[in-house]
Amino acid sequence: MINGIDRGQHPLSGGSGLRRVLDLETWTASGIPLLRDPREFVLELHQRHLPQPGTVVIAVLDALHHLAASASFTPWPHDTDGWQHRNALLSHLRRIIPHDLRLPEPTRTAVLLRCRDGAPGWTEQDGAWMWALRDAAALHGLRCGAYIGLTPAGWQILGDGRNGRNPHAGSWADGPVHTVTELPPRSALDGPRGQRTRRQAAGPAQQGQQIQEAQQVRQAQQEEDNPRSTQSGPPWIPARTAPAERSRRTGTR
Protein backbone atom coordinates (compact mmCIF):
# COMPACT_ATOMS: atom_id res chain seq x y z
CA MET A 1 0.00 0.00 0.00
CA ILE A 2 1.48 3.37 -1.10
CA ASN A 3 -0.17 6.69 -0.20
CA GLY A 4 -3.31 4.86 0.87
CA ILE A 5 -3.64 3.03 -2.46
CA ASP A 6 -3.26 -0.72 -2.62
CA ARG A 7 -0.98 -1.33 -5.57
CA GLY A 8 -1.65 -5.05 -5.52
CA GLN A 9 0.27 -7.51 -7.66
CA HIS A 10 1.30 -6.28 -11.06
CA PRO A 11 0.24 -8.54 -13.93
CA LEU A 12 3.77 -8.42 -15.40
CA SER A 13 5.33 -9.76 -12.20
CA GLY A 14 4.65 -13.34 -13.26
CA GLY A 15 2.24 -14.16 -10.43
CA SER A 16 -1.18 -15.68 -10.90
CA GLY A 17 -3.16 -12.81 -9.39
CA LEU A 18 -6.94 -12.77 -9.56
CA ARG A 19 -8.28 -10.41 -12.21
CA ARG A 20 -10.77 -7.85 -10.93
CA VAL A 21 -13.66 -7.91 -13.41
CA LEU A 22 -17.43 -7.58 -13.00
CA ASP A 23 -19.75 -9.22 -15.51
CA LEU A 24 -22.83 -7.39 -16.72
CA GLU A 25 -25.23 -9.52 -14.66
CA THR A 26 -23.40 -8.78 -11.42
CA TRP A 27 -23.24 -5.09 -12.26
CA THR A 28 -26.95 -4.90 -13.03
CA ALA A 29 -27.88 -6.69 -9.82
CA SER A 30 -25.76 -4.41 -7.62
CA GLY A 31 -28.42 -1.68 -7.43
CA ILE A 32 -26.69 1.14 -9.32
CA PRO A 33 -28.68 4.41 -8.96
CA LEU A 34 -30.22 5.69 -12.18
CA LEU A 35 -29.31 8.98 -13.80
CA ARG A 36 -32.23 11.41 -13.84
CA ASP A 37 -31.52 12.84 -17.28
CA PRO A 38 -28.84 10.71 -18.93
CA ARG A 39 -28.99 12.45 -22.31
CA GLU A 40 -28.31 15.91 -20.88
CA PHE A 41 -25.69 14.56 -18.50
CA VAL A 42 -23.74 12.76 -21.24
CA LEU A 43 -23.94 15.85 -23.45
CA GLU A 44 -22.66 18.13 -20.67
CA LEU A 45 -19.83 15.75 -19.80
CA HIS A 46 -18.87 15.44 -23.45
CA GLN A 47 -18.83 19.20 -23.98
CA ARG A 48 -16.59 19.65 -20.98
CA HIS A 49 -13.94 17.06 -21.92
CA LEU A 50 -14.43 16.14 -25.62
CA PRO A 51 -13.21 12.56 -24.97
CA GLN A 52 -11.47 10.68 -27.76
CA PRO A 53 -11.29 6.88 -28.02
CA GLY A 54 -9.11 5.68 -25.16
CA THR A 55 -10.21 8.46 -22.78
CA VAL A 56 -11.88 7.87 -19.41
CA VAL A 57 -13.95 10.55 -17.66
CA ILE A 58 -14.69 10.28 -13.94
CA ALA A 59 -17.46 12.55 -12.63
CA VAL A 60 -19.02 13.22 -9.23
CA LEU A 61 -22.67 14.19 -8.76
CA ASP A 62 -23.88 16.00 -5.66
CA ALA A 63 -26.97 15.14 -3.65
CA LEU A 64 -29.17 17.01 -6.18
CA HIS A 65 -27.67 15.06 -9.10
CA HIS A 66 -25.76 18.09 -10.35
CA LEU A 67 -22.24 17.76 -11.69
CA ALA A 68 -19.88 18.72 -8.86
CA ALA A 69 -16.49 17.76 -10.33
CA SER A 70 -15.01 15.78 -13.19
CA ALA A 71 -11.67 14.78 -14.65
CA SER A 72 -10.57 13.05 -17.85
CA PHE A 73 -7.40 11.07 -18.49
CA THR A 74 -5.94 8.44 -20.79
CA PRO A 75 -4.84 5.27 -18.98
CA TRP A 76 -1.77 3.30 -19.94
CA PRO A 77 -2.54 0.82 -22.72
CA HIS A 78 -0.91 -2.06 -20.80
CA ASP A 79 -3.11 -1.47 -17.74
CA THR A 80 -5.89 -4.01 -18.14
CA ASP A 81 -6.67 -5.15 -14.61
CA GLY A 82 -9.29 -3.67 -12.32
CA TRP A 83 -6.90 -2.76 -9.53
CA GLN A 84 -4.82 -0.63 -11.92
CA HIS A 85 -7.91 1.20 -13.09
CA ARG A 86 -9.07 1.60 -9.48
CA ASN A 87 -5.79 3.25 -8.51
CA ALA A 88 -6.04 5.67 -11.43
CA LEU A 89 -9.63 6.61 -10.59
CA LEU A 90 -8.87 7.06 -6.92
CA SER A 91 -5.90 9.28 -7.72
CA HIS A 92 -8.02 11.60 -9.86
CA LEU A 93 -10.87 11.65 -7.35
CA ARG A 94 -8.51 12.84 -4.65
CA ARG A 95 -7.40 15.70 -6.89
CA ILE A 96 -10.81 17.06 -7.84
CA ILE A 97 -12.96 16.61 -4.73
CA PRO A 98 -12.49 15.80 -1.00
CA HIS A 99 -13.59 12.43 0.31
CA ASP A 100 -16.78 11.78 2.28
CA LEU A 101 -15.45 8.99 4.47
CA ARG A 102 -16.57 10.75 7.66
CA LEU A 103 -20.22 10.82 6.64
CA PRO A 104 -22.50 8.09 8.01
CA GLU A 105 -23.64 7.32 4.45
CA PRO A 106 -22.57 8.66 1.05
CA THR A 107 -24.44 11.59 -0.46
CA ARG A 108 -22.47 12.04 -3.66
CA THR A 109 -22.20 9.62 -6.57
CA ALA A 110 -19.30 8.67 -8.82
CA VAL A 111 -20.08 8.13 -12.51
CA LEU A 112 -17.69 6.88 -15.18
CA LEU A 113 -17.71 7.44 -18.95
CA ARG A 114 -15.35 5.43 -21.13
CA CYS A 115 -14.83 6.33 -24.78
CA ARG A 116 -13.56 3.51 -26.97
CA ASP A 117 -13.67 2.12 -30.48
CA GLY A 118 -15.53 -1.02 -31.41
CA ALA A 119 -19.07 -2.29 -31.14
CA PRO A 120 -21.39 -1.24 -28.31
CA GLY A 121 -22.08 -3.55 -25.41
CA TRP A 122 -20.16 -5.03 -22.53
CA THR A 123 -16.53 -6.11 -22.94
CA GLU A 124 -14.04 -7.57 -20.51
CA GLN A 125 -12.33 -4.20 -20.20
CA ASP A 126 -15.67 -2.62 -19.32
CA GLY A 127 -15.95 -5.23 -16.56
CA ALA A 128 -12.53 -4.21 -15.23
CA TRP A 129 -13.53 -0.55 -15.18
CA MET A 130 -16.79 -1.43 -13.45
CA TRP A 131 -14.87 -3.15 -10.68
CA ALA A 132 -12.55 -0.14 -10.48
CA LEU A 133 -15.42 2.34 -10.24
CA ARG A 134 -17.17 0.42 -7.50
CA ASP A 135 -14.01 0.03 -5.42
CA ALA A 136 -12.73 3.58 -5.93
CA ALA A 137 -16.12 5.04 -5.00
CA ALA A 138 -16.19 3.04 -1.76
CA LEU A 139 -12.63 4.10 -0.84
CA HIS A 140 -13.53 7.76 -1.41
CA GLY A 141 -16.83 7.70 0.49
CA LEU A 142 -19.03 7.91 -2.63
CA ARG A 143 -21.85 5.88 -4.07
CA CYS A 144 -21.09 3.84 -7.14
CA GLY A 145 -23.03 5.34 -10.03
CA ALA A 146 -23.67 4.61 -13.67
CA TYR A 147 -21.17 3.28 -16.17
CA ILE A 148 -21.46 4.92 -19.61
CA GLY A 149 -19.89 3.53 -22.75
CA LEU A 150 -19.18 5.90 -25.65
CA THR A 151 -18.60 4.11 -28.97
CA PRO A 152 -18.91 5.06 -32.67
CA ALA A 153 -22.55 3.93 -32.48
CA GLY A 154 -23.38 6.42 -29.70
CA TRP A 155 -23.62 6.37 -25.90
CA GLN A 156 -25.05 3.58 -23.75
CA ILE A 157 -25.54 3.10 -20.02
CA LEU A 158 -24.49 -0.49 -19.42
CA GLY A 159 -26.92 -2.42 -17.29
CA ASP A 160 -29.56 0.27 -17.74
CA GLY A 161 -30.54 -0.05 -21.36
CA ARG A 162 -30.85 3.67 -22.08
CA ASN A 163 -28.78 4.91 -25.03
CA GLY A 164 -28.54 7.52 -27.77
CA ARG A 165 -26.78 8.23 -31.03
CA ASN A 166 -25.20 11.55 -30.08
CA PRO A 167 -22.66 12.21 -28.81
CA HIS A 168 -20.55 9.30 -30.03
CA ALA A 169 -16.86 8.37 -30.05
CA GLY A 170 -16.14 10.62 -33.01
CA SER A 171 -18.05 13.69 -31.82
CA TRP A 172 -14.90 15.20 -30.28
CA ALA A 173 -13.83 16.30 -33.79
CA ASP A 174 -16.94 18.49 -34.05
CA GLY A 175 -16.14 20.44 -30.90
CA PRO A 176 -14.54 23.91 -30.85
CA VAL A 177 -10.75 24.06 -30.89
CA HIS A 178 -9.46 26.88 -28.62
CA THR A 179 -6.00 27.51 -30.06
CA VAL A 180 -6.11 31.33 -30.43
CA THR A 181 -7.37 33.84 -27.92
CA GLU A 182 -10.44 35.63 -29.28
CA LEU A 183 -9.93 39.30 -30.05
CA PRO A 184 -12.51 42.00 -29.22
CA PRO A 185 -14.64 43.26 -32.15
CA ARG A 186 -13.39 46.32 -33.99
CA SER A 187 -16.40 48.36 -32.90
CA ALA A 188 -15.28 47.98 -29.30
CA LEU A 189 -12.00 49.76 -30.20
CA ASP A 190 -13.78 52.91 -31.51
CA GLY A 191 -14.54 55.94 -29.40
CA PRO A 192 -13.09 57.11 -26.05
CA ARG A 193 -13.97 53.86 -24.30
CA GLY A 194 -12.23 51.86 -27.00
CA GLN A 195 -9.15 54.10 -26.76
CA ARG A 196 -9.07 53.46 -23.03
CA THR A 197 -9.27 49.75 -23.74
CA ARG A 198 -6.36 50.01 -26.15
CA ARG A 199 -4.29 51.87 -23.58
CA GLN A 200 -5.02 49.23 -20.96
CA ALA A 201 -4.20 46.43 -23.39
CA ALA A 202 -0.90 48.03 -24.45
CA GLY A 203 2.26 46.92 -22.74
CA PRO A 204 4.59 49.14 -20.65
CA ALA A 205 6.91 49.81 -23.62
CA GLN A 206 4.07 50.85 -25.89
CA GLN A 207 2.56 53.05 -23.19
CA GLY A 208 5.89 54.80 -22.72
CA GLN A 209 6.17 55.43 -26.44
CA GLN A 210 2.67 56.90 -26.53
CA ILE A 211 3.47 59.23 -23.63
CA GLN A 212 6.66 60.41 -25.37
CA GLU A 213 4.79 61.10 -28.60
CA ALA A 214 2.14 63.07 -26.71
CA GLN A 215 4.85 65.21 -25.06
CA GLN A 216 6.42 65.97 -28.42
CA VAL A 217 3.08 67.07 -29.87
CA ARG A 218 2.41 69.28 -26.84
CA GLN A 219 5.88 70.87 -27.13
CA ALA A 220 5.35 71.59 -30.84
CA GLN A 221 2.04 73.30 -30.08
CA GLN A 222 3.67 75.49 -27.44
CA GLU A 223 6.35 76.57 -29.90
CA GLU A 224 3.69 77.55 -32.45
CA ASP A 225 1.83 79.64 -29.84
CA ASN A 226 5.03 81.42 -28.64
CA PRO A 227 7.21 82.21 -31.71
CA ARG A 228 10.85 83.13 -31.16
CA SER A 229 11.89 86.82 -31.20
CA THR A 230 14.39 88.15 -33.75
CA GLN A 231 16.95 88.93 -31.04
CA SER A 232 17.16 85.35 -29.88
CA GLY A 233 18.76 84.26 -33.17
CA PRO A 234 17.71 82.92 -36.49
CA PRO A 235 14.97 80.30 -36.57
CA TRP A 236 17.15 78.00 -38.70
CA ILE A 237 20.11 75.91 -37.68
CA PRO A 238 23.43 77.45 -38.86
CA ALA A 239 25.41 75.27 -41.19
CA ARG A 240 28.74 73.91 -40.14
CA THR A 241 31.74 75.55 -41.92
CA ALA A 242 35.39 74.61 -42.11
CA PRO A 243 38.31 77.04 -42.54
CA ALA A 244 39.74 77.23 -46.10
CA GLU A 245 43.33 76.16 -46.67
CA ARG A 246 45.74 79.03 -47.48
CA SER A 247 47.59 77.15 -50.21
CA ARG A 248 44.41 76.58 -52.21
CA ARG A 249 43.41 79.29 -54.68
CA THR A 250 39.92 79.80 -55.86
CA GLY A 251 38.59 81.77 -58.82
CA THR A 252 40.51 82.82 -61.98
CA ARG A 253 43.55 84.98 -62.48
pLDDT for position 246: 52
Q: Is the pLDDT of residue 196 over 70?
A: no
Q: Which of 35-39, 56-60, 176-180 has the lowest mean pLDDT?
A: 176-180
Backbone angles phi, psi at 10, to 5 degrees: -70, 140
Answer yes or no: is 150 within a domain.
yes
Fill in the DSSP letter of residue 218. Answer: H
How many Cβ atoms are within 10 Å of 141's Cβ, its own excluded?
18
Answer yes or no: is 59 within a domain.
yes
Q: What is the tally of structural domains in the chain? A: 1
Residue of 135, 182, 145 lying closest to 61 (CA atoms): 145
Answer yes or no: is 128 within a domain.
yes
Answer yes or no: is 156 within a domain.
yes
Answer yes or no: is 42 within a domain.
yes
pTM: 0.64
pLDDT top residue among 145 and 234? 145
Enumerate residues 6+ apart whose C-beta is below 8 A from 116.
53, 54, 125, 149, 150, 151, 169
**Each residue's pLDDT tens digit, 7-44:** 444 444 444 456 799 999 999 999 999 999 999 999 99
% the chain with pLDDT above 90: 57
CA distance 149 to 146: 10
Answer yes or no: is 181 within a domain.
no
% the chain with pLDDT above 70: 65
Helix, strand or coil, per DSSP, at residue 67: strand
Answer yes or no: is 227 within a domain.
no
Q: 79 lies in which domain range?
A: 26-173
Backbone angles phi, psi at 2, to 5 degrees: -130, 125
CA distance 119 to 47: 23
Burial of 26 (0-12, 13-18, 19+ CB in 10 A): middle
CATH number of the domain residue 109 falls in: 3.40.140.10
Average pLDDT over all residues of the chain: 78
pLDDT for position 219: 73
- According to DSSP, the residues that pair with 112 across neighbouring strands are 58, 147
Answer yes or no: is 99 within a domain.
yes
**Element housing 181 (H / E):** none
DSSP H helices in the chain: 24-28, 38-49, 82-96, 124-139, 191-201, 204-225
